[in-house]
Amino acid sequence: MIKGIFCSLLASILFGGLYYLATFLRPLAGEDVFGFRMLVTLPFLFLAVILLKQQKAFIDFLKQIKQNPKLIFILCLSSALVGIQMWLFLWAPNSGKAIDVSIGYLLMPIAMVAVGKLLYKEHLSFCKWLAIFFAFIGVLSNILLAGKLSWASALVATGYPAYFMVRKKFNISHIYSFVIEIALLLPIALYFISQVDMPVIQQQNPNIYFYLLLLGLMSGVALISYTLASTLIPFNVLGLLGYIEPCAMLFISFVIGETLNPDAYLLLICLGIAILCLMLDGILVLRKRKRIKSAKYNAIE
């Protein structure tokens, strides 16, 4: 349990660190950074497959794709959905959208809860209903005050649920399918990299190769840490710890000099309350499971 919590915290810190690292990759454009990230991430994903002893499952999945070629189109769709998010993540800090994307990541778990209720008829506790209510009030207030919700926030809040829905529907929610998704992005990544004039970039940023190496190392260790955490701790605990990342992203957004528009104050307050409601729900579920497990143990004795 302790190892799992450590891995999850390490992953959140590293993902937050990547948000800050993006500012050191200038003058590379967002698509250039995306290209390099995909290139350096893939080897670490293969390493994760080995560490989790999923080699046979990975080979079986490749055979499944060969037997059912239609599956490759599904993987192309899920690859495109996650690729957009991975591009947006490192594009935002250098484009004045770091806060907007951070808000999207805060909205995303609440959107996931709403999707679970609307599409999968999942039971919602009182705390989850409260979370949805406050998130709705926050988004509505932002639309009324600012005239719209930031497209970057909306893209994160709706894009990730769409991605997870595709994975759930076609039963491709595993590490080896993610490897295929990233591999499918490699041709696009290589194209973006081929358009970069590295000598010119290096003149403006002499340490660019060091930062790209750091990008690969942090991305890889973060992905492996999160994957290991998902196998070591209960899903509810993983979900609770997952709120650290968007909070870290928001903090880094302020560190790099972005300021929150007054129109978004109420939105952020409402999202904060909504996140606290979800965290409280997770804690209550964990305590309930612990009581049930304890009662069963006492009954056996």
The span from the CA of 195 to the CA of 274, in Å, is 43
Mean pLDDT, the chain, as a whole number? Answer: 84
Name the 3-class secondary structure at 160. Answer: helix
Helix axis angle, 98-120 to 244-255, nearest 10°: 160
DSSP state of 133: H
Instruction: Name which residue leads in pLDDT, 289 or 212.
Output: 212
Report how many helices (DSSP H) and strands (DSSP E) the chain contains, helices first: 13, 0
Number of domains in the chain: 1
- Spatial contact of 155 and 104, defined as CB atoms under 8 Å apart: yes
Q: Is 209:36 a contact under the CB 8 Å cutoff?
A: no
- For range 100-128, the mean pLDDT: 83
Q: Could you tell me the pTM of the whole model?
A: 0.85
The string of pLDDT tens digits covering residues 271-295 is 888 888 877 887 887 787 777 766 6
Q: Work out the number of other CB atoms within 10 angstroms of the CB of residue 182.
A: 22
Return the number of other C-beta atoms located less than 10 Å from residue 104's C-beta: 29
The answer to whether residues 90 and 82 touch, using CB atoms and an 8 Å cutoff, is: no
C-alpha R_g of the chain? 20
pLDDT of residue 119: 82
Residue 59 or residue 227, greater confidence: 59
- Tell whether omega for the bond before 199 is within 30 degrees of 0, i.e. cis: no
Query: How many C-beta atoms lie closer than 10 Å to residue 264's C-beta?
Result: 21
Average pLDDT rounded to a whole number, residues 183-195: 92
Residue type, 202: Q
What is the rounded distance in angstroms from the CA atom of residue 274 to the CA atom of residue 279? 9
DSSP state string for 13-51? HHHHHHHHHGGGGTTS-HHHHHHHHHHHHHHHHHHHHHH
CA distance 161 to 171: 15
Helix (H), strand (E), coil (C) string for 42-101: HHHHHHHHHHCCCHHHHHHHHHHHHHCCHHHHHHHHHHHHHHHHHHHHHHHHHCCCHHHH
Mean pLDDT, residues 8-33: 88
Q: Token digits for 7?
A: 């891995």
Domain that holds residue 138: 2-300
Percent of the chain with pLDDT over 90: 16
Would you state the pLDDT for residue 81? 92
Residue-wise pLDDT for 167-184, tens only, equals 888 888 788 888 898 999
What's the pLDDT score for residue 16? 87
Report pLDDT digits (tens) over 216-242: 888 888 877 876 776 676 655 666 677
